Structure 1
Amino acid sequence: MYSTISHTQIEKNKFSSYLAGLIEGDGTIIVPKSERSPKGVLNYPSIQIVFHLKDLPLALLIQKNLGHGSLARKKGVNAYILTVNNKLGLLLLLSLINGYMRTPKIYALWKLIDWYNIKDSNLNLEKKPLNTSNLTSDAWLSGFVEADGHFSVRTTKNDKSTRIECKFELSQRQIDHNGKSNLYFLENIAELLSTVVKPVRVDKPNPEYRVRTTNLKGNLNLESYLNNYPLFGSKYLDFKCWIEVVDLFKSGKMDHKLNIEKVIKIKSNMNDKRTIFVWDHLNNFYNLDK
């Protein structure tokens, strides 16, 4: 007898892994060191996710899906922060992302689980281990790219040369603020993208690791993955523009001079230069009520 997985469960698995990637990329899990401050004020744990201003529609949709959290504009930067700090909301988030984490941020998750287990022994929450399954098995990388990925198109046009480059990259601190290395999970991403992890900013106080595609195969692997597990923020729109340029390379006979003007036009609507945002793709966001 074969077991069946419902459509709702499949959607939940995708949403959970996507959310884990998003939190590990642009989120913070805050666990107080003590129950009360020196002044006797109660301390509460929280999970925060940062969204760029232009991704407000996505932030609102995730808030709606969770049914918890407050969304506030962050002063001084172009960002909104979704903060969940009530018990029901945090227990829901724990139930969703526990088991899907792939980075050292899992230690903060385990601290939060300990916090609740100590306060309520009846909860008996399980600290699930790092997810070491293949990256192509769930939507985690989609959430992580949503937070930290960058689709890059570079053009060179002068008397000496005409050149088009199409790359994807993401960077992370080599060592996080808890002293944990980010190398392991970045190596998994690099393997999927047929590239390597490169140390950068090594002379800075916080050196980084960078993963950047260096060939068509890596770009096509990413395209295949994101077609299965799509992006949902404004980065989805950048991805679609980026794919237009990747498509020019697929034939293996890219004519840089012939295509340069077309690519410059595509590039003029990407990333920080984008002024038009169409959010139809949010209609395909993970629906847990189906």
Structure 2
Amino acid sequence: EPIIAPELNPDCLLETVKYFTQSTGNLLSLNFLGIFRDYTSEFICYTGLSVKLKKESFGLCLSQSKGYDMRYYTKKTCFYNSSNTEFAHYIAGLIEGDGSIHTPKAERSRKGVINYPNIQIVFHLKDLPLALLIQKELGCGSISRKKGVNAYIYTINNYEGLILLINIINGNMKTNKIYALHRLIDWYNKYKGTSLEKKALNTESIISNAWLSGFIDSDGHFSLRSTESGKHPKIECKFELCQRQIDHNNLDNLFFLEEIALSINSVVKSIRNDSNNPQYRIRTTSLKANLAVVNYLVKYPLFGSKFLDYKDWVKVVKLFEQGSLDHKLNMEYVKHIKSNMNDKRTVFVWDHLQNFYNLNK
């Protein structure tokens, strides 16, 4: 007769994790790390590497096991095996462009209420499809409408989601926002018993991965300018990035903007110096600079609604490249394209999201 036995359920993990045992009959969850109780080998493998699990026993009450809860471990948390992916670079750029990392000063408030850290990403209303796709890929977080502005806020504040996101962006940061990430890591190491590493700024070329495309999706701007006054009509294609000069931690943002400018044959200029919010601006002023932007975005595309503006912008850039643009004869054509870009766009086709990065690719 055939032998009926439980199926071995091998799991692939990158790092050592805890697993738990309990007495027979006291099953607390059917999904211990995605593994069935008693039927998992003592060793697990990840791409040929054997990893021995640390065993910890506990009774009926999960709170007796300090700092651990079964809900913290999901397949996405355990199976995420690399921060060196285009998804990771893109998300890091997106967060550094229009995201924030909030870390409480203590584990509990003076009244004993538990404080929760969070990471938030701001999306324009028209970029909701991208926000939903990222939420689906990460498998955590909530999206809410921000009152008073045309924006949605994607918030991640649960343990497993934040640990996953820390592992994704850690080592891929290129701006001063890395210090906010390090404060969050310090908080988890202090209050949750983790041993997360604080990785340094990423020093890879800024055009060697998808970080810049994520940053552009947050803060970039593509524009067409058509001037008919005077004897010589003029058409211009411009790409811009603006950032405050000094951030809220009193740190200068010039260093990474200079790297961006250098990579696209442009320069950083100071603007609004007499205002309360002086800024740095990168603006392309030549065909060479515009083509550098195009060459990068062909390899590492945009995924927000700016991709649609970029596609229209490129139509005119290509006319310059081919030497076929006549500033007078092409004026109406350019004005028509311009009339449907940026805030004037009313039709959105999201086919390009089919090419969005997977978590581990």
Determine if contact 2:238/2:283 at 8 Å carries over to the other structure. yes
Between 40-49 and 56-65, report the one with greater CA deviation: 40-49
Q: Are 2:295 and 1:219 aligned?
A: no
Determine if contact 1:99/1:130 at 8 Å carries over to the other structure. yes
| Counterpart secondary structure, 1:214 | coil
Q: Are 2:95 and 1:23 aligned?
A: yes
| Counterpart secondary structure, 2:207 | helix
Letter in 2 for 1:91: I
Once the two structures are TM-superposed, the CA of residue 9 in structure 1 deviates from its matched residue by 7.5
What is the aligned partner in structure 1 of residue 15 from structure 2?
A: none
Letter in 2 for 1:27: G
Determine if contact 2:88/2:359 at 8 Å carries over to the other structure. no
Q: Any idea what the Cα deviations from partners look like across 1:95-136, whole Å, max 9, x if unmatched?
A: 100000000000000000101111233x21111100111012
What is the aligned partner in structure 2 of residue 43 from structure 1?
A: 115
Letter in 1 for 2:281: R
What is the aligned partner in structure 1 of residue 205 from structure 2?
A: 134
| Counterpart secondary structure, 2:329 | helix
Determine if contact 2:138/2:359 at 8 Å carries over to the other structure. no
| Counterpart secondary structure, 1:152 | strand
What is the aligned partner in structure 2 of residue 162 from structure 1?
A: 233
- In structure 1, list runs of 5 or more residues that go unmatched: none
Q: 2:344 aligns with which of 269, 273, 276?
A: 273
Once the two structures are TM-superposed, the CA of residue 289 in structure 1 deviates from its matched residue by 6.9
What is the aligned partner in structure 1 of residue 224 from structure 2?
A: 153
Q: Which of the pair is proportionally richer in helix? A: 1
Once the two structures are TM-superposed, the CA of residue 251 in structure 1 deviates from its matched residue by 2.4
Instruction: Give the distance between the partners of 1:48 and 1:150, measured in 2 at CA.
Output: 22
Instruction: Give the distance between the partners of 1:203 and 1:38, measured in 2 at CA.
Output: 42
Q: 2:248 aligns with which of 171, 174, 177?
A: 177
Written as runs of structure 1 = structure 2, the 5 A alignment for 1:1-290 is 13-121=85-193, 123-252=194-323, 254-288=325-359
Flag the 1:64–1:165 CA change in 2: closer, same or farther, 3 A: same
Instruction: Give the distance between the partners of 1:97 and 1:289, measured in 2 at CA.
Output: 13
Instruction: Give the distance between the partners of 1:94 and 1:159, measured in 2 at CA.
Output: 55
The alignment yields a C-alpha RMSD, in angstroms, of 1.8
Q: Any idea what the Cα deviations from partners look like across 1:164-193, whole Å, max 9, x if unmatched?
A: 010100100101000111000000010011
Letter in 2 for 1:227: V
What is the aligned partner in structure 1 of residue 22 from structure 2?
A: none
Structure of greater Rg: 2
Once the two structures are TM-superposed, the CA of residue 253 in structure 1 deviates from its matched residue by 5.2
Instruction: Give the distance between the partners of 1:71 and 1:53, measured in 2 at CA.
Output: 11
Determine if contact 2:246/2:253 at 8 Å carries over to the other structure. yes
- In structure 2, list runs of 5 or more residues that go unmatched: 1-46, 48-79
Determine if contact 1:12/1:288 at 8 Å carries over to the other structure. no
If asked which structure has higher relative contact order (CA below 8 Å, sep 6+), I would say 1
- Aligned residues: percent identity? 64
Between 111-120 and 11-20, report the one with greater CA deviation: 11-20
Determine if contact 1:195/1:211 at 8 Å carries over to the other structure. yes
Flag the 1:115–1:9 CA change in 2: closer, same or farther, 3 A: closer
- How many positions carry a matched residue from both structures? 283
Flag the 1:9–1:215 CA change in 2: closer, same or farther, 3 A: farther
Instruction: Give the distance between the partners of 1:133 and 1:233, measured in 2 at CA.
Output: 24
Q: Any idea what the Cα deviations from partners look like across 1:34-77, whole Å, max 9, x if unmatched?
A: 22223332111000000000000000000000000000000000
TM-score, scaled to structure 1 = 0.94
Q: Any idea what the Cα deviations from partners look like across 1:205-250, whole Å, max 9, x if unmatched?
A: 1211001111111110110111111101100000000000101110
Determine if contact 1:169/1:211 at 8 Å carries over to the other structure. yes
TM-score, scaled to structure 2 = 0.76
| Counterpart secondary structure, 2:247 | coil
Once the two structures are TM-superposed, the CA of residue 160 in structure 1 deviates from its matched residue by 3.1
